[in-house]
Amino acid sequence: MNFVFAPHPIASVPIAGSEQLFPVRRIFCVGRNYAEHAREMGAADQADGREPPFFFTKPADALVCGVGELPVKYPPLTKNLHHEIEMVVALGAGGENVPVDAAQSLIFGYAVGLDLTRRDIQARAKEKSHPWDMSKGFDHSAVASEINPTSACGHPRTGRIWLTVNGQLRQQGDLSEMMWKVPDIIANLSTMVRLEAGDLIYTGTPAGVGPLQIGDVLEAGVDGVGNLSARIV
Ligand code: MN
């Protein structure tokens, strides 16, 4: 290949119990997928059932991942960096217009993730109907634990999802509270874009999002998936 400079390395995530790495293609995120969090963000209650899920993306190279305490850079241009604990779905196969009953078979594994958000920039973007990219897709905005393959963890659909900051519980919910379940999310997203092996999907956060400071230590987990540890530097 005759590139003008060396291509950047492919982002990858370690796999629990394996020497192999999961090569990342795209990172998708679901907005407002737990009712309590939708309420804390000021979204109206949905009396007549669910609105369709909405999605945004982060660049693959925004990932900070692995085992142990992950150093995460506090980003520039914000005074309100928020944590959002989320279960992450890692796809081992893709497709378009995937039926809901076929969606689960595309999943390679699950991870514990943080969808870090510059909440002040996001608030200005919402106000002006501007895009969310710079509030959601900055460097180090996507944090992930190693991936737990479905061969080891199955498909967790209930279980506690939680996050502490400096030992204090900040976020807590249960996977069963997702408004759009994992197979629905995959099926819906696959109507918009073709999904492929290597795609990660952040599945939304429970209530309790809040600000982080430099020096904060985060511990988080999803029952049946694993744990994540990070420090803001
Ligand atoms: Mn989120």
Task: Count structural domains, the chain.
Answer: 1
Task: Give tens-digit pLDDT for 185-225.
Answer: 999 999 999 999 999 999 999 999 999 999 999 999 999 99
CA of 113 to the centre of ligand 1 (A): 10
CA of 143 to the centre of ligand 1 (A): 12
CA of 176 to the centre of ligand 1 (A): 17
Q: What is the pLDDT of residue 42?
A: 86
CATH code, domain with 159: 3.90.850.10
Please indicate, yes or no, if residue 83 is contained in any of the structural domains: yes
The whole-model pTM stands at: 0.97
Task: Give tens-digit pLDDT for 68-117.
Answer: 999 999 999 999 999 999 999 999 999 999 999 999 999 999 999 999 99
Please work out, in degrees rounded to the nearest 5, the angle formed at the alpha carbon of residue 71 by the alpha carbons of 67 and 77: 140
- Domain hosting residue 197, numbered range: 12-232
Q: How far apart are CA 188 and CA 96, in angstroms?
A: 10
Task: Give tens-digit pLDDT for 20-76.
Answer: 999 999 999 999 999 888 889 888 766 556 788 999 999 999 999 999 999 999 999
CA of 163 to the centre of ligand 1 (A): 14
Please indicate, yes or no, if residue 30 is contained in any of the structural domains: yes
Span 220-232, mean pLDDT?
98
Please indicate, yes or no, if residue 5 is contained in any of the structural domains: no
Q: Which two tokens stand for residue 184?
A: 């629905």
CA of 78 to the centre of ligand 1 (A): 17
Please indicate, yes or no, if residue 7 is contained in any of the structural domains: no
3-state secondary structure labels for all residues of 191-209? CCCCECCCCEEECCCCCCC
Please indicate, yes or no, if residue 102 is contained in any of the structural domains: yes
CA of 6 to the centre of ligand 1 (A): 33
CA of 204 to the centre of ligand 1 (A): 5
Q: What is the pLDDT of residue 1?
A: 81
Please indicate, yes or no, if residue 4 is contained in any of the structural domains: no
Please indicate, yes or no, if residue 206 is contained in any of the structural domains: yes
